[in-house]
């Protein structure tokens, strides 16, 4: 048994100097932190394992989702492919700790011993000697989590069911995080890589592990196992990034694809969405009263916005009000961007849908009997960073 495993790729894939390494990881995380914060901690993340200059910005998008995890996650099950030797099954490490530039990371030897009782799980020290797929994730984990115990697993060839059994054995509670290490396509030209990686991303997001072969993801074995476990548990998945080395630091004639995802136990809770859903009946009542006022007076109602309003109604909001009569559209007006209090937006658009939609005559009292209405509150718009990919998707649909 080797008591301590020393880095195989420090100084090549990432800086060997502790200060330089921590500064580089912090820079990646700071850039990734511009994304909207997640309302819940992920149970699992998927990220790439190339040299930091190439894949670091993409990996950071996954680790940024763990900004609030310090002190909460104490065990990390880290699984990725073997690049230097072929074998069947999964190999755990016999070391007691990993010595990284950022400090010693202890292994969870009790959990590792437990895994060895599962089918296709054994020890193979040679699988760890040169392997980078797991190692490059550890500095990110050290930066965001601080102290934790590591359960490394290098995969050879193994069925998804056997891999999923590893996750199930160590599922635990919020103290346990699963990290899957994988790159996507290898050495295609830039355009072909984007096309293939988009297809791979869609397969991952519909939990279709069978669609992942060697050309789609080098870490397909671990990814398939996680997707199977996630599908069985009804998890939600969030795409965080999809780029390639041509987008980060390399040429575009032969590129490697990278993606980042977060998986949650159930759909991540969104406090703003929950607040809007809570006042859903109130929004419908406001819309109905606005239409009734319009039928009585021919004018939209005046809305008083004061401190008595619930915060979600007083805050800027964008809504669409849709009217249907006996199932057929009878009017629809709304805003795409929030520019006034949500209560004002709903009341005004209810009036406009009933009386100002040029496609239909003004609503009459006799139509109320068969009238139904709905209110849709829009989330804030986000910029489109990849117009070509969006255009391609629109054409395909």
The per-residue b/e assignment along 369-387, b for 16 or more CB within 10 angstroms, e otherwise, is eebebebebeeeeeeeeee
Q: Is the pTM of this model over 0.85?
A: no
- pLDDT tens profile 19-54: 999 999 999 999 997 555 555 899 999 999 999 999
The residues pairing with 258 across neighbouring beta strands, listed in sequence order, are: 243
Which ranges of the chain have pLDDT less than 70?
A: 1-2, 34-39, 266-275, 307, 382-397
Kindly list the domain boundaries of the chain, sorted by start residue: 4-267, 272-377
* Secondary structure (3-state) at 103: strand
91 vs 3: CA distance, rounded Å: 17
Phi and psi torsions of 346, nearest 5°: -65, -45
Multiple choice CATH, 4-267, 3.30.750.24, 3.90.1150.10, 3.40.830.10, 3.40.50.80:
3.40.830.10
> How far apart, in Å, do the first and last CA atoms of the chain sit?
56
pLDDT of 295 reads: 95
Q: Which sign, positive or negative, has the C-alpha torsion 284, 381, 66, 243?
A: positive
Angle, CA 185 vertex, CA 184 and CA 187 arms, to 5°: 135
pLDDT of 148 reads: 98
175 vs 147: CA distance, rounded Å: 12
Q: Are strands 103-106 and 97-100 parallel, antiparallel or unpaired?
A: antiparallel
pLDDT of 392 reads: 55
- pLDDT tens profile 114-151: 999 999 999 999 999 999 999 999 999 999 999 999 99
pLDDT of 396 reads: 47
Q: Name the CATH superfamily, with its identifier, for domain 272-377.
A: Hypothetical protein ph0010; domain 1 (3.30.700.20)
Alpha-helical segments (H) within the chain: 18-32, 52-63, 109-115, 126-129, 138-145, 160-169, 190-205, 220-232, 245-248, 271-278, 280-297, 311-314, 342-355, 387-396
């Amino acid at each position: 048994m080797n008591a301590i495993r020393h880095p195989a790729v420090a100084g090549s894939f990432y800086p060997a100097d502790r200060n330089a390494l921590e500064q580089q990881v912090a820079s990646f995380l700071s850039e990734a932190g511009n994304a909207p914060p997640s309302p819940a901690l992920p149970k699992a993340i998927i990220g790439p394992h190339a040299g930091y200059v190439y894949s670091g910005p993409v990996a950071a998008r996954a680790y940024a989702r763990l900004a609030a995890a310090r002190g909460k996650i104490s065990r990390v099950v880290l699984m990725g492919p073997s690049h230097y030797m072929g074998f069947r099954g999964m190999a755990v490490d016999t070391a007691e700790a990993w010595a990284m530039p950022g400090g010693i990371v202890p292994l969870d030897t009790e959990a590792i011993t437990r895994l060895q009782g599962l089918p296709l799980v054994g020890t193979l020290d040679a699988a760890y000697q040169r392997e980078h797929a797991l190692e490059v994730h550890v500095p990110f984990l050290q930066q965001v989590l601080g102290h934790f115990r590591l359960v490394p697993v290098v995969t050879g060839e193994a069925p998804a069911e056997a891999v999923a059994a590893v996750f199930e054995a160590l599922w635990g509670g919020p103290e346990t995080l699963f990290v899957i290490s994988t790159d996507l396509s290898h050495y295609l030209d830039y355009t072909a890589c984007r096309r293939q990686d988009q297809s791979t991303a869609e397969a991952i997001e519909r939990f279709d592990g069978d669609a992942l072969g060697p050309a789609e993801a080098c870490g397909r074995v671990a990814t398939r196992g996680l997707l199977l476990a996630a599908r069985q548990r009804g998890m939600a998945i969030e795409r965080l990034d999809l780029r390639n080395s041509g987008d980060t630091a390399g040429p575009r004639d032969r590129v490697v694809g990278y993606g980042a995802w977060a998986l949650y136990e159930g759909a991540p809770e969104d406090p703003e969405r929950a607040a809007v859903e809570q006042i859903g009946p109130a929004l419908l009542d406001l819309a109905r009263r606005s239409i009734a006022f319009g039928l009585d007076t021919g004018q939209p109602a005046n809305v008083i916005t004061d401190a008595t309003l619930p915060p979600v109604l007083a805050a800027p909001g964008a809504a669409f009000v849709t009217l249907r009569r006996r199932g057929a559209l009878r009017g629809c007006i709304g805003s795409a961007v929030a520019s006034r209090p949500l209560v004002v937006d709903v009341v005004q658009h209810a009036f406009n849908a009933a009386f100002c939609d040029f496609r239909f005559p003004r609503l009459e009292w006799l139509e109320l009997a068969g009238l139904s209405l709905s209110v849709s509150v829009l989330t804030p718009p986000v910029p489109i960073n990849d117009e070509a990919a969006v255009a391609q998707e629109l054409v395909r649909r």
